[in-house]
Structure formats: C-alpha cells, structure tokens
C-alpha cells in the first residue's frame, strides 16, 4: 500500500521563503544589542528552522507514527547527551566561571 503524500512546488518555495526570512532574522539579531538574550533568541530561530526542515524537507509531516517515535527518541537522546556534557563541563572546579 503506497500512501505517499506529495507536497507542491509552491509549498516548497513557501517553506524556502520562510527559511530565508528566518536566516535574515538570525543575521539581524546578531547585530542587535540584546545582551544575554542574543543566544536564546538565535537558538529559538534556529529551532524554528530545524522544525521546518524536519517537517517538510525530511517529509516527517506526512510520515507514519513510528517515524515520529524514532525522531522523538533521537531528539530525546540528543538532549540527554547535551545535558550530560554541560553538567560535566559546568561542574569542573578548575574553570573560572564569572559570578561563582
């Protein structure tokens, strides 16, 4: 049974335009004096771009639930790895962390 969902060229061009606008927004944020908010804003924009790429260009939007489960598991595993790496890096006493 082949229930392949197709996405139109117009849809791909729309997603491309949105990704380009998010790229311009990322560049614009880099020039704004946001202080400590620069990194979270840039990461939020990058997260939006990653979601759009996964949903449309990797065809996750029209895939079955098992693919969604494995994508979620991969994202969870990535979060675990980042958390463990940061906990190791931030717990080292020989690093000079400002404010501690």
Domain boundaries, the chain: 1-63, 64-100
The pLDDT of 13-37, averaged and rounded, is 95
User: By C-alpha distance, which of 35, 86, 42 is closest to 50?
Assistant: 42
What digits encode the pLDDT tens for the residues 34-86?
Answer: 999 998 999 999 999 999 999 998 889 888 999 999 999 999 999 999 999 99
- Using CA atoms, how far apart are residues 20 and 99, in angstroms rounded to an integer? 38
pLDDT value, residue 68? 92
Of residues 39 and 7, which shows the higher confidence score? 39
Asked if 34 contacts 41 with a C-beta cutoff of 8 angstroms, the reply is yes
Of residues 3 and 73, which shows the higher confidence score? 73
pLDDT value, residue 1? 44
- Using CA atoms, how far apart are residues 85 and 37, in angstroms rounded to an integer? 22
- Using CA atoms, how far apart are residues 75 and 59, in angstroms rounded to an integer? 16
DSSP codes of every residue in 25-77: HHHHHHHS--GGGHHHHHHHHHHHHHHHIIIIIS--TTS-HHHHHHHHHHHHH
pLDDT value, residue 92? 77
Q: Is residue 98 predicted with pLDDT exceeding 80?
A: no
pLDDT value, residue 89? 83
């Amino acid at each position: 049974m082949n229930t392949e969902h197709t996405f139109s060229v117009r849809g791909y061009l729309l997603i491309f335009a949105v990704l380009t606008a998010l790229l311009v927004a990322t560049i614009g944020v880099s020039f704004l004096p946001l202080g400590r908010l620069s990194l979270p804003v840039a990461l939020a924009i990058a997260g939006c771009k990653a979601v759009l790429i996964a949903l449309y260009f990797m065809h996750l939007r029209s895939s079955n639930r098992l693919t969604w489960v494995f994508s979620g598991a991969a994202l969870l595993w990535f979060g675990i790895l980042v958390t463990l790496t940061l906990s190791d890096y931030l717990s080292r006493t020989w690093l000079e962390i400002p404010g501690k």
